[in-house]
Amino acid sequence: MSDSNASDMLNDNGNICTVCGTPTTIKCSGCKTHFYCGKDCQTKDWPAHKTSCKDFQLERRLARVAEIVHEAYLTFRENTFDGVIEKIEDGEDVLVIHDGNPWNNEQYFTKFPHKLVSSSRRAKLGVLTAWTCDEPYGFLNMLIVKLLEGLNVDMQEIGVEFSRIPRKTVALTFPMGKPLSGKQWIMDFAGGQYGIAQPFHTWEQYEIAFVDKLVSVYDIGTAKRVFSELAKIAGRYILVYGLVGRAAAKLEEAIDTWETENKPLLTFRGLQDAEFEQQKSSLLGALDNAVRTFIRTTDFAPVVRKAQMSNPAFADAMFNTKSKQLYDEANLLLRNVSDKHSQQLGPVYSYDSSDKHSLEEFAKMASSRGLHPLVVDGSGGKSTKIHHIIVGDL
């Protein structure tokens, strides 16, 4: 082939063989990012390419898992919304939510205030994920685990310190000792409250953009186990964890039913794009319907009235003590503080629940990191507690 013909082909398709430079349209069937002129060149390049190829394939599967769980959680949160939002100020650097008294609603759950966020997806994500840092992992644990079933990854729930605000995410990493790259990813389904709209990141990207230090590591399923214990505490915790936990149980029943009638969730990862979208829509629709039906057809008033008669101060003290105890016992960093590996992960973080930031300070801090933060102003004052972190790392 003449140089001019090769140049014409290159201009047409823009791709050349990774090994020899010959213009080609043949992609690696695994990652679809590398091009080869034929089998010989692909075989020759495989020792150098195989690790990144497998990483890319795994990353694509994990991204699908994150997409499904994120959409499922946002819908679940909208169906089980329990806030009373009086006003929203959607500024460039800060989303300020003015919340009211939720105790006036005898059915506990409220309609999501679509009219207040109709013009901004960013604001809607912020409102939906306010106060929810652990919720996706506690209430949607079954969905996460089923979607990840069979993948050669280690899974942990981790907490990180973002300035003085702890974050809860799910970390995914190759098992220790395996001859793989050790690449790590983060699924953060509640990041909308900090302007982090995307749920899936590489750990490297996430750490650079948002993280000061790692403060806790829990086995997957820890939040779910802790929530089941916190649901036993009198007062509002019976509602926050108990009633929403009952809705989550209906979601889990719907998952089992959908799998029985269709296919195992783990198959989602390998579907062609069109079928993936079709099956995702079917699954999410089934989960949405199950939770909405439960909320619509259940009388929650007796449970709410019982919760209202409890002693709030006593319940709060019980919650703070129990929450700290359960998470401290589960924190692998605390349990293995003398272990060399856990020491390398970072120091244990101590959080002062009385710490306050002015709205201006919080906005400035978050803006410097390119974030659109959420601030909850429940007192009407110039400063507010960062009280949307309700469990974990406290």
Q: Are residues 189 and 76 in contact, defined by beta-carbon separation less than 8 angstroms?
A: no
Asked whether residue 293 is domain-assigned, the answer is no
Please report which confidence band the pLDDT of residue 364 belongs to, taking 50, 70 and 90 as the band edges.
Answer: low
Is the pLDDT reported for residue 24 higher than 60? yes
Contacts of 243 (CB under 8 A, 6+ apart): 80, 108, 109, 300, 303
Q: Structure tokens of 228?
A: 């089941």
Please report which confidence band the pLDDT of residue 278 belongs to, taking 50, 70 and 90 as the band edges.
Answer: very high
Average pLDDT over residues 214-239: 92
Residues 64 and 41 in one domain: no
Residues 78 and 46 in one domain: no
Gap between the Cα atoms of 184 and 169, Å rounded? 13
Residues 64 and 21 in one domain: no
Please report which confidence band the pLDDT of residue 356 belongs to, taking 50, 70 and 90 as the band edges.
Answer: very low
Q: Are residues 113 and 85 in contact, defined by beta-carbon separation less than 8 angstroms?
A: yes
Please report which confidence band the pLDDT of residue 368 belongs to, taking 50, 70 and 90 as the band edges.
Answer: low
Q: CA 12, 17, 19: angle at the middle one, nearest 5?
A: 160
Residues 65 and 34 in one domain: no
Last residue of a domain, one of 54, 71, 91: 54
Gap between the Cα atoms of 44 and 40, Å rounded? 6
Asked whether residue 109 is domain-assigned, the answer is yes
Q: Structure tokens of 77?
A: 């949160």
Q: Structure tokens of 58?
A: 């795994």
Contacts of 43 (CB under 8 A, 6+ apart): none
Contacts of 24 (CB under 8 A, 6+ apart): 13, 15, 16, 17, 35, 36, 37
Helix/strand/coil percentages in the chain, nearest 5: 50, 15, 35
Strands (DSSP E) contained in 9-90 are 85-90
Say what the pLDDT of residue 184 is: 85
- Helix/strand/coil for 99: strand
How far CA 85 is from CA of 20, 237, 392, in Å, comes to: 62, 20, 25
Is the pLDDT reported for residue 344 higher than 80? no
Please report which confidence band the pLDDT of residue 3 belongs to, taking 50, 70 and 90 as the band edges.
Answer: very low
Asked whether residue 377 is domain-assigned, the answer is yes
Q: Are residues 107 and 304 in contact, defined by beta-carbon separation less than 8 angstroms?
A: yes
Residues 68 and 38 in one domain: no
Residues 312 and 209 in one domain: yes
Q: Are residues 76 and 140 in contact, defined by beta-carbon separation less than 8 angstroms?
A: yes
Asked whether residue 256 is domain-assigned, the answer is no
Residues 123 and 23 in one domain: no
pLDDT (tens digit, 9 = 90+) per residue, 30-48? Answer: 777 789 999 899 889 888 8
Gap between the Cα atoms of 24 and 214, Å rounded? 45
Residues 29 and 128 in one domain: no
pLDDT (tens digit, 9 = 90+) per residue, 113-147? Answer: 999 987 788 889 988 998 887 899 999 999 999 99
- Please report how many Cα atoms fall inside a 13 Å half-sphere around the Cα of residue 229, on the Cβ side: 16
Gap between the Cα atoms of 89 and 382, Å rounded? 14
Average pLDDT over residues 178-182: 49
The proportion of the chain whose per-residue pLDDT surpasses 90, expressed as a percent, equals: 40
Asked whether residue 257 is domain-assigned, the answer is no
Last residue of a domain, one of 30, 54, 78: 54
Please report which confidence band the pLDDT of residue 363 belongs to, taking 50, 70 and 90 as the band edges.
Answer: very low
Asked whether residue 252 is domain-assigned, the answer is no
What is the β-pairing status of strands 85-90 and 95-99?
A: antiparallel
Domain of 217 in residue numbering reads as 59-229+308-385
Give the chain's domain count: 2
Contacts of 175 (CB under 8 A, 6+ apart): 152, 153, 154
Residues 39 and 150 in one domain: no
Residues 27 and 81 in one domain: no
Residues 205 and 113 in one domain: yes
Average pLDDT over residues 162-172: 48
What is the pTM (predicted TM-score) of this model?
0.78
Asked whether residue 350 is domain-assigned, the answer is yes
Q: What is the dihedral of CA 46, 49, 51, 54, to 10 degrees?
A: -90
Query: 178 versus 82: which is more confidently predicted?
Result: 82
Residues 37 and 110 in one domain: no
Asked whether residue 236 is domain-assigned, the answer is no
